[in-house]
Amino acid sequence: MEIIETQKEDISIFKLNGRLDSNTSPALEKKLVWAIENGTRNMVIDFENLDYISSAGLRIILKTTKDLKRTEGNIVLCAMQDYVKEVFEIAGFDTFLPIFSTVDEALAKV
């Protein structure tokens, strides 16, 4: 998996490419933890090029949401494939995590 990080004003955007499973999730976790420790408070995760996610990936998103809540930060998700979004819904994560269709919407709402 490839993670591309960009910055727009005070928002960090993480664009995920490839597959997020228990093999690749430690790299994402490391990157997100590092960002929060270094002052990131507003985060957008762009799923447009993410082809695959398992519960290992969901756990990282959940953990990051909790970490940001503790530091009064925000996280929003966007541009998911329908079948990826369905996994968030089955897990019940859509009830507490905002998921938007486009990056622009996500940037406006974070």
Helix residue spans in 11-100 (DSSP H): 25-37, 55-70, 82-90
Mark the segment that binds another protein (CB under 8 A) among 2-10, 17-25, 36-44, 102-110: 17-25
Count other Cβ atoms within 10 Å, centred on residue 15.
19
Which lies closer to another protein via its Cβ, residue 49 or residue 81? 81
Pairing of the two strands 11-20 and 2-8: antiparallel
Q: Is 59 in the site for another protein (CB under 8 A)?
A: yes
Question: Which parts of 62-101 interact with another protein (CB under 8 A)?
Answer: 62, 81-84, 87, 90-93, 95-96
Which lies closer to another protein via its Cβ, residue 58 or residue 99? 58
Count other Cβ atoms within 10 Å, centred on residue 90.
10
Rounded Cα distance, 79 and 5, in Å: 16
User: Total binding residues for another protein by CB under 8 A?
Assistant: 23
Three-state secondary structure call for residue 99: strand
Which residues bind to another protein, rule: CB under 8 A? Answer: 19, 21-23, 51-52, 54-56, 58-59, 62, 81-84, 87, 90-93, 95-96
